[in-house]
């Protein structure tokens, strides 16, 4: 029984360490270079027709609103609610830009390219 407790304690410690490492790695990804790379992805998605130019403009506006937060995160001066705002905005922009994963491009009627074939 004593060995089981030791194994469970070691497993819990490893899990705790893994969660800490994952959140540290995630926090490092939300930096100004990454936010700037999302701006390029927005332009690329608009050029390829995956999103509209008006949506690209709106997404850029969202990114500009959190660019300072990305800098604060990069320098370690961010608080919890600012980090949550940065993370949710970046997640939203990523999801809108990566719409190509399900092979849906922009269409003014919201049906995606090739909808007329269905």
Does pTM top 0.75 for this prediction? no
In the chain, where are the structural domains located? 1-29, 31-117
pLDDT in tens, 40-70: 999 999 998 888 999 999 999 999 999 999 9
Nearest to residue 94, comparing CAs of 49, 30, 47? Answer: 30
């Amino acid at each position: 029984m004593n060995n089981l407790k030791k194994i469970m304690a070691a497993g819990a410690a490893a899990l705790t360490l893994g969660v800490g490492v994952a959140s540290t790695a995630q926090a490092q990804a939300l930096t100004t270079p990454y936010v700037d790379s999302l701006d390029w992805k927005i332009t690329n998605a608009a050029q390829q027709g995956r999103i509209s130019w008006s949506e690209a403009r709106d997404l850029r506006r969202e990114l500009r609103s959190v660019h300072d937060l990305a800098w604060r995160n990069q320098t370690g001066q961010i608080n919890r609610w600012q980090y949550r705002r940065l993370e949710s905005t970046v997640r939203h922009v990523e999801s809108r830009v990566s719409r190509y994963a399900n092979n849906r491009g922009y269409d003014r009627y919201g049906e995606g390219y090739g909808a007329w074939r269905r």
